[in-house]
Amino acid sequence: MILLMVNDKKECNRSCNHCYLPYQGKRSAEETVELVRQLKEQGELVSLAGSEVLTDLGYLEAYQKASQKYILTNGILLLEHPEIYDKLHEQGIKEVRISAHFGIEKMLGSVPESDVATVIEEAKNEGLKVQITTTITPENYRLVESMCDQSKYMNADKLEFIRYVKAGSARREQRRMLTAEERAEFFELVVEAREGFDKSDLEIAIHGNFGPREGSRGERLAKFNRYCPAGTFLFVVDPNNIVYGCPFLMDFPIGKLVEGKVEVEKELCGGKRDKCLTDYLLS
């Protein structure tokens, strides 16, 4: 799977303190469409992301070519220009994934929860599925139950927790990642919270960057050193054709994209794949 990152933090209309994207540059919409065409022709599975992709609606054609039905956005442009929904429908987008960093939005400088709530309401009225993505830090990891309640109240279909990692701009922050003990407590709180929600009302997910949870499929994969796909099954390409293993590991280049082919020059963490590689490289 190849993830193309189309634009950098400078191109974004927000400047979150914890932004994990360190690369610079932008790939034009036309070049992106052409690259997706080339990669698909070679039989690759391709997806797209960036800092804020709606800053150039030309990227949406690439989503359609990649058969990608969801879009990651901070929601600001959807709030300011609701006519963008027509373009999303035209290009086959069925789901909006938007960040709401419950309890820490001021600290992170991210989009206020009230604005996110308005975007979700409009997206749902447009017939789109909505996922909320929430960053988890030592400051908010105990708020699991209230974050789930709030997501349900906002009418989201899914809430996904992502662990705060010291990548990109976050490397310069004083804040720390969860300790192993805090992470274990967080897992327990999520298991408890899931009992209170029917999946059809609110799906509650934990991103793979938390590492394997006891009793999960991830733990079984970890036993065979197969937990992390970064740089083996997953490659991330920035606008300068530099290749990385994972969107959270873009401080560590591993190769290049040459004429549409990934050329890997370096193995991450000496082949250790029993946990999320951010644990080896960023903590």
Positions in the binding site for ligand SF4 (CB under 6 A): 208-209, 228-230, 234, 246, 248-249, 276-278
Rounded Cα distance between 186 and 141, Å, is: 6
Of 150 and 278, the one with the shorter C-beta distance to ligand SF4 is: 278
Rounded Cα distance between 199 and 203, Å, is: 5
CB of 216 to ligand SF4, least distance (A): 13
Of 59 and 252, the one with the shorter C-beta distance to ligand SF4 is: 252
Of 89 and 220, the one with the shorter C-beta distance to ligand SF4 is: 220
CB of 253 to ligand SF4, least distance (A): 14
Q: Which residue is nearest to ligand SF4 (CB)?
A: 246
Token pair 């609701």: residue: 82
CB of 45 to ligand SF4, least distance (A): 15
- Look at residue 28 and give its three-state secondary structure: coil
Six-digit token string for 143: 């708020």
CB of 64 to ligand SF4, least distance (A): 26
Bridge-based pairing of strands 70-73 and 46-49 is unpaired
Of 75 and 218, the one with the shorter C-beta distance to ligand SF4 is: 218
Of 119 and 222, the one with the shorter C-beta distance to ligand SF4 is: 222
Of 121 and 267, the one with the shorter C-beta distance to ligand SF4 is: 267
CB of 149 to ligand SF4, least distance (A): 27
Q: Distances from the Cα of 93 to the Cαs of 13, 72, 109, in angstroms? A: 21, 11, 28
Closest CA to 32 of 8, 65, 55: 65
Q: Is 63 exposed, middle or buried (0-12, 13-18, 19+ CB in 10 A)?
A: buried
Q: Distances from the Cα of 61 to the Cαs of 26, 142, 245, in angstroms? A: 16, 40, 25
Determine the length of the chain. 283
CB of 107 to ligand SF4, least distance (A): 22
